[in-house]
Structure 1
Amino acid sequence: MANLPPASEGAIAAALAAFPELDHPEARPLAGGLINQTFAVEAGGERYILQRLSPIFAPAIHWNIAAVSERLRARGERSPRLLESAQGRPWVDLGEAGIWRVMTRIPGVTFDTLVGDRAAQARSAGALVARFHGALRDLDHAFQALRQGVHDTPAHLARLRQALAEGAGHRLFGEVEALAGRIFAAVEGLPPAGEVPSWVVHGDLKISNILFDEADPREARCLIDLDTVGRMPLWMELGDAWRSWCNPGGEDQSEARFDLEVFAASVEGYLGDLGAPLSDAERRSLVHGVEWIAVELSARFAADAIFESYFGWDRARFPAAGEHNLLRARGQFALFEAALTTRGERAALLLGGR
């Protein structure tokens, strides 16, 4: 659930009233979001999404979302449209009641993991992401209020060292310390990504941020949850995608398998629809992207197991946040190890036939 207290009926009504385009709107809660509070809205025969923004995001991110979604639609891609509020911005500030936004709702269905014909879904998702990247390649926009240090591996490793230095008395210290030793050793053995250009990217390509066709769930329709759009190298963007798409067990398991068939299908879809050549350096960086992201996330979750600071944990399965984060850390390290066993095959797919 979102890391926000439930919104009052008065706040929801005030938020809806702030968007003149909505004609007699009615809202109902939508479950599933970990960060923002989300409501389905029907108004004037149209469907929308109302969201209360988490305070981890600044309102200025909406200028980023608007620029990206407008460009995507101009290039023939589906993307939700932000509505303008009575304040003349693509959000409304209700003071203590929070920051709210409304966007058009695109029909479709989301999944936490690939289902059914997983390879077909991955191929379509890869092609969709390629069109997203291609449409935004020359976007002239000064991105605002970006998250800092999202894939700053040295910073995450430093935080893990801090957790070990400060957490000797923690109930999970011994288990975290043992895992941390393996994480530090793994990082020492990874090739550096090298100097490669940044692209305009989605920033959080977990599978649940891809909207699939409800009638034919093999077809990826559009990317949703654009709060994280910005610029970064493709190995970060796609490495994060592959650690989600290619792990059929998901993030909340201590063991993992890397699905090479899904990886191959996604690469086929991506490279087939990108429409712009990647340099040899970019392709080489993609080989190791999922390895870097998986071990980085393992370090992040291991530190969170000591600090117990991560906002979303399953109270039904775990006694505290630390236990859930330790499981996540082990799962991501298991994924890293599984990915290593496929490095040769992945390299052949990414580097062959250029």
Structure 2
Amino acid sequence: MELKKKLATIFQQFQTEHTFKGFETFNSGHINDTFLILTQEEVNYVLQRINTTVFKKAIDVIHNKIKITQHLSKKGIQTIHFIPTKENSYSLIDNDNHLWNLSEFIENSQTFLKVNANDIAYQAGLITAEFLAQTSDFENDLVETLPNFHSMSFRFQEFQNALNATSKIRKQKAQKWIDFALANKKEMMVLDRAINQKEIRLRVTHNDTKISNILFDTNNKAICMIDLDTVMKGCIHFDYGDALRTICNTTDEDEVNVSAINFNLNYFKNYTEGFLKSLANNISKQEASYLPISIQVMTFIMGLRFLTDYLNNDVYYKTKHSNHNLERANNQFSLVQKIREQQHEINSFVKSTYMSSCH
């Protein structure tokens, strides 16, 4: 009841003409707390509390979201619509110093936690690439709200710091994957090197393209990208690789049965076809050449982050038990190995699809 009262109080401070009735909790996010606000008039909203421990520049997170959604709206592209407060700000700070923002709920929409059909993978590729294409001309500067978010060198530095400070027990439990991470360090720096050498360019990217961050209509057609908290400058490989990391994993992210983990090639092919169709001539041949390896890199970096948080006693991600982050790391690193087994076919398919889609 206390949470309901608090959410009602916060909701009433935004510019809506609707009366709070109740709420439902969205549970798919690792970081922020998100609620579906139900009103007496049956017009629903999405109320989000930004995790200010993770997002040190939480106000800038909201400003970035507003800039990008307004840019898309001006082009007539369907996107999230944010609601200002009664004081004409898009963010609200409560008495506990938590930061909130409110957006309209898009009716007759749905999200998926897992892909269960080829057409959903294809639609996901279409909409992710459309977001990249339609924001490629965005000229205003976005604030880097999570510095070095997908920087492999930065993540290895964090990992090394955690390794140096971790307990003997945690280190022993994680030794297999500590060794795996160190053995693959050089190869996994490939995107960092390509960015530094200006072989691939930086542009607006979503930076968290898991399937649950895409809104679909009731006919399974993709509507738009959601959860724009991580929107900032990056390379398309971050979005492409991270999407396939989640879409093509045959298990949940914390599945402990390694034999069940595999990389779904059919979903990869459908996603890639949609992605390259939407991106069309907004991607160079050189950029395309790095797409295949980005799937390994983005899966590896996620495994490294889970492993680092485990070594750090679980200070970043929400966990359900003491080995949760280690199990997630085990899952992601095992998926890297499965991707490698099919890397030749992945390379060939991306190359042929790029040639047919973009020229």
TM-score above 0.5: yes
Give the distance between the partners of 2:281 and 2:40, measured in 1 at CA.
41
Q: Does 1:229 align with 2:224?
A: no
Q: CA deviation at 1:44?
A: 4.2
Relative distance call for 1:120 and 1:348 in structure 2 (3 A) is same
Name 1:331's counterpart in structure 2. 331
SS of equivalent to 1:172: helix
Name 1:111's counterpart in structure 2. 112
SS of equivalent to 2:81: coil
Name 1:40's counterpart in structure 2. 37
Partner residue of 2:21 out of 16, 26, 42: 26
Q: Does 1:282 align with 2:287?
A: yes
Q: CA deviation at 1:31?
A: 3.2
Aligned-partner residue type, residue 203 of structure 1:
N
Which segment drifts farther, 59-68 or 91-100? Answer: 91-100
Relative distance call for 1:25 and 1:340 in structure 2 (3 A) is same
Q: State the identity %.
A: 22
Which segment drifts farther, 17-26 or 293-302? Answer: 17-26
Q: Does 1:201 align with 2:201?
A: no
Aligned-partner residue type, residue 324 of structure 2:
H
Q: How well do the aligned residues superpose, as a CA RMSD in angstroms?
A: 2.1
Name 2:250's counterpart in structure 1. 248
SS of equivalent to 1:298: helix
Name 1:3's counterpart in structure 2. none
| 1:237-289, Cα deviation, whole Å (9 max, x unpaired) | 21111111111202112422111111111110011122434212211111110
SS of equivalent to 2:224: strand
Name 1:155's counterpart in structure 2. 154
**Any gaps of 5 or more consecutive residues in structure 1?**
1-5
Alignment of 1:151-230 (within 5 A): 151-169=150-168, 171-190=169-188, 192-193=190-191, 194=194, 195-214=199-218, 216-217=219-220, 219-230=221-232
- Residues 30 and 39 of structure 1 are in contact (CA less than 8 Å); yes or no, is this contact kept in structure 2? yes
| 1:76-109, Cα deviation, whole Å (9 max, x unpaired) | 3321111111121112222325222211111311
Give the distance between the partners of 2:188 and 2:205, measured in 1 at CA.
24
SS of equivalent to 1:248: coil
Give the distance between the partners of 1:272 and 1:333, measured in 2 at CA.
30
| 1:131-155, Cα deviation, whole Å (9 max, x unpaired) | 1111111012221251112112122
Relative distance call for 1:160 and 1:177 in structure 2 (3 A) is farther
Relative distance call for 1:168 and 1:100 in structure 2 (3 A) is closer
Aligned-partner residue type, residue 15 of structure 2:
P
- Residues 149 and 155 of structure 1 are in contact (CA less than 8 Å); yes or no, is this contact kept in structure 2? yes
What is the aligned residue count? 339
Relative distance call for 1:263 and 1:10 in structure 2 (3 A) is same
Q: CA deviation at 1:26?
A: 2.5
Aligned-partner residue type, residue 36 of structure 1:
D
Name 1:349's counterpart in structure 2. 349
Relative distance call for 1:84 and 1:164 in structure 2 (3 A) is closer
- Residues 191 and 288 of structure 1 are in contact (CA less than 8 Å); yes or no, is this contact kept in structure 2? no
Name 1:51's counterpart in structure 2. 48
SS of equivalent to 1:63: helix
SS of equivalent to 1:252: coil
Q: What is the TM-score with the length of structure 1 in the denominator?
A: 0.89
**Any gaps of 5 or more consecutive residues in structure 2?**
none
SS of equivalent to 2:88: coil
SS of equivalent to 2:110: coil
- Residues 160 and 180 of structure 1 are in contact (CA less than 8 Å); yes or no, is this contact kept in structure 2? no
Give the distance between the partners of 1:245 and 1:103, measured in 2 at CA.
26
SS of equivalent to 2:288: helix
Give the distance between the partners of 1:120 and 1:155, measured in 2 at CA.
36
SS of equivalent to 1:141: coil
Relative distance call for 1:145 and 1:258 in structure 2 (3 A) is same
Q: CA deviation at 1:186?
A: 2.0
- Residues 187 and 295 of structure 1 are in contact (CA less than 8 Å); yes or no, is this contact kept in structure 2? no
Give the distance between the partners of 1:251 and 1:270, measured in 2 at CA.
23
Q: CA deviation at 1:290?
A: 1.1
| 1:151-172, Cα deviation, whole Å (9 max, x unpaired) | 1212222222233322252x23
SS of equivalent to 2:23: strand
Relative distance call for 1:14 and 1:288 in structure 2 (3 A) is same
Q: CA deviation at 1:197?
A: 0.4
SS of equivalent to 2:83: coil
Q: Does 1:123 align with 2:93?
A: no
Name 2:272's counterpart in structure 1. 267
Relative distance call for 1:168 and 1:54 in structure 2 (3 A) is closer
Q: Does 1:63 align with 2:68?
A: no
Q: CA deviation at 1:45?
A: 4.6
Which segment drifts farther, 50-59 or 227-236? Answer: 50-59
Which segment drifts farther, 250-259 or 69-78? Answer: 69-78
Q: What is the TM-score with the length of structure 2 in the denominator?
A: 0.88
| 1:31-78, Cα deviation, whole Å (9 max, x unpaired) | 314322423232645221122222133122222111211222233332
Aligned-partner residue type, residue 73 of structure 2:
R
